[in-house]
Amino acid sequence: MLLRRLSVTIYTRDRGRKSVGGGKLKTIEDINEKIESGKAVVLTAREFKERVRKKKTRAEDVDVVTTATCGLMSGTAAILSIPITRGGKFERADEVWINDVPAFPGPCPNERLGIVDVIVYGTARSESKPQEYGGGHLFRELVEGKRVEVKVKADGKVFRKKVTISELGFAKLLTTRSSFRNYMGFLNTKKGKVKSIFSVMGLRGPYEEISVSGCGEINPLENDPHLQTIGVGTKVLVNGAVGYVLSKGTRSSVQRPNLSVVADMHGMSPELMGGFVTSSGPECVTSIAIPIPVLDEKIFSNLEKTDEEVGLPIADIHDRVPFTESDYGKVWKNTDLKIRFNPRKCQEHEVCEVQKYCPTKAFRKGEGIDESKCFNCGACVRLCPNGAFEGNLGRIEIGGKEIPITLRQSNRERAEELASMLKRMIIRRKFLLANPVARLE
C-alpha cells in the first residue's frame, strides 16, 4: 500500500515553494512498487526542468528524475584480470603494458598462475604515442570488443598475449573522483598560450577564450547537493552499465561534492566513454547517470534549480583559483548542444587542422563527423578557417568584455541521452532504485 503523507505546498510569487509540515511523500520502496506496476512517473532532468520553467510540476506528481553528466573525469581507472599463459610459466609480473599503456600489476601477485591483475589509469599515456593514446582510449577499445595487446615482463622474460574483454573474467571501472557538482571555466589572463588539460590547442590570453566543464542543471550532484538521496550503495549507470556509489571521491567537499563509483565494463556503451586529447596529453571521458527519487519537498525543491541558477566559477589557468563567477545559463541556454559539419564550406585543405587536433579523432576529411566519437566540444568551430563547423558555444562577460567559449569539456547532449537511457530502463522495469546502505560522510 502506497504511503502518502502529503505536505501542503504553498506557491509564492517568485516561484519559490514552501513546504508546510514538510512530511515524507514516499519511500524508495513505494517508488519501486510503482515501477513494478508500471505507474511510476519518471522524467529526465531535461523534461523536469522544462516543467519547472513552465511552473507545471509538483512534488507529488513526479517519482523519479534521471540526472546525468558526461565529461573528462581524470580520476577514472580500470581494474582488469588478464589470463596470459598456462600456470607455472612465470612467478609474478614485474611490469605490464596494454596497447603500450603502462599498467600497475597487483595487488594480488597471482604467483605462478599465469594471470596478471592490473590497475590502469584513464590518464596513463601510451609509451610510443604519449600525445595521442592513453588509458581512456584503451578502455573504449576494450568495451568496443577490440583485441588489445598485453605485454608482461616477468622473471627476465617477455610474454605477449592478445585479448578481448570477453576473455577477462574481471573488468571493472572505478573512479576515485567523478561527477563533481559541476565544475569551472578557465581562461588565461596573461599574454601567450598555456598548455593545459583544459584546452586542445593551449589557452590563448589575455582574456581571449574560455574553456568550460560541467553539465549544469542536469548534473546529478547539482540536483542532490546535500546528498539526501545519493549514498553508499546507490545504484547508478556508469557509461551505460549498472554500477554503485562507493564513497565520496577525493577532493570532495560540502560545497562541491563528488563521488567514487564502480561498474562492470562488460555492459558499457563505447560512445559514452573514451579518450580526449588535450594540449597536455590524453584525458579520460566518463559518463554517470543517477536517479533522484522525489521522496519529499526538500528533495523536490533542490531539483528545481535551472542552468541560470547554477554558478560557474571562473579561474585563471595559471593558479586555478576562481576570481569571478558566471552561470551555466551562459553555457547551455540558447546555445547549440550539437556541433554540425557543413561539407559545402569544407575546402579539404591538405593539412586539415580539425582532423589534426579534433580531441576524439571524430573528423576525417571526405568522411565528415563520426557521431559516435564526436564529443560536441566545439574545438573545430574555431579551428576551421572556412567556418565548416557550426555551433554557438556561448560567451561569458568578464570585466565588461564578452569572451567566447571555445571548448566544452562536458558533453551535455550525450549526458541527456544517458539520462534518457536510464529513464527507459526504469520504465521497462530493468532498473529498480536501491536504498543507500549508509550516508556519504
- Told to check if 369 binds ligand SF4 by CB under 6 A, we report yes
User: Judged by CB under 6 A, does residue 378 bind ligand SF4?
Assistant: yes
By CB under 6 A, tell whether 272 contacts ligand SF4: no
377 in Cβ contact with 359 (< 8 Å): yes
Of 138-146, 174-182, 251-259, 378-386: span binding ligand SF4 (CB under 6 A): 378-386
Residues 6+ apart with CB under 8 A from 405: 185, 209, 210, 211, 212, 330, 331, 378, 393, 394, 395, 396
Confirm if 139 and 273 have CB atoms less than 8 A apart.
yes
Query: DSSP H helical segments within 267-352, as ranges?
Result: 297-303, 329-332
Residue 224 CB, shortest distance to ligand SF4, in Å, is 30
C-alpha cell at 48: 523536469
Q: Which amino acid is at 130?
A: P
* Minimum distance from residue 340 beta carbon to ligand SF4 (Å): 9
Beta strands per DSSP E along 178-223: 185-187, 192-194, 203-205, 210-212
* Closest separation in Å from C-beta 75 to ligand SF4: 22
284 binding ligand SF4? (CB under 6 A): no
Contacting residue, 110, 258, 279, 360, with ligand SF4 by CB under 6 A: 360
Smaller CB distance to ligand SF4: residue 206 or 343?
A: 343
Distances (CA, A) of 285 to 130, 157, 186, 199, 349: 17, 35, 19, 14, 30
Among residues 152 and 362, whose Cβ is nearest to ligand SF4? 362
Contact between 198 and ligand SF4 by CB under 6 A: the answer reads no
Name the segment binding ligand SF4 (CB under 6 A); options: 83-91, 343-351, 375-383, 428-436.
375-383
Round to whole Å and give the CA distance between 28 and 5: 14
Q: What is the DSSP string of 373-384?
A: T-----HHHHH-
Return the residue of 121, 198, 328, 375 that touches ligand SF4, per CB under 6 A: 375
Give the number of residues in contact with ligand SF4, rule: CB under 6 A: 15
Q: Which residues in the 385-414 window bind ligand SF4 by CB under 6 A?
A: 389
175 versus 355: smaller Cβ distance to ligand SF4: 355
Least Å distance between CB 357 and ligand SF4?
Answer: 7
339 scored as a contact of ligand SF4 (CB under 6 A): yes
Sheet hosting strand 401-408, strand order edge to edge? 322-327, 311-316, 185-187, 210-212, 401-408, 395-398
Binding span for ligand SF4 by CB under 6 A among 164-172, 208-216, 322-330, 356-364? 356-364
We find the least distance from the C-beta atom of residue 416 to ligand SF4, in angstroms, to be 16
Under rule CB under 6 A, residue 377 binds ligand SF4: yes
Cβ proximity to ligand SF4: between 176 and 410 the closer is 410
**Should residue 237 be labelled a site residue for ligand SF4 when binding is judged by CB under 6 A?**
no
Does 105 sit behind a cis peptide bond, omega within 30 degrees of 0 on the bond before it?
no
Tell me if 173 sits within 8 A of 270, measured CB to CB.
no
Single residue of 25, 374, 393, 418 touching ligand SF4 by CB under 6 A: 374
Q: Where are the beta strands (DSSP E) in 4-163?
A: 8-11, 17-20, 42-44, 64-72, 75-83, 95-98, 101-105, 115-121, 148-154, 157-163
Q: Which residues bind ligand SF4 (CB under 6 A)?
A: 339, 358-360, 362-363, 369, 374-380, 389
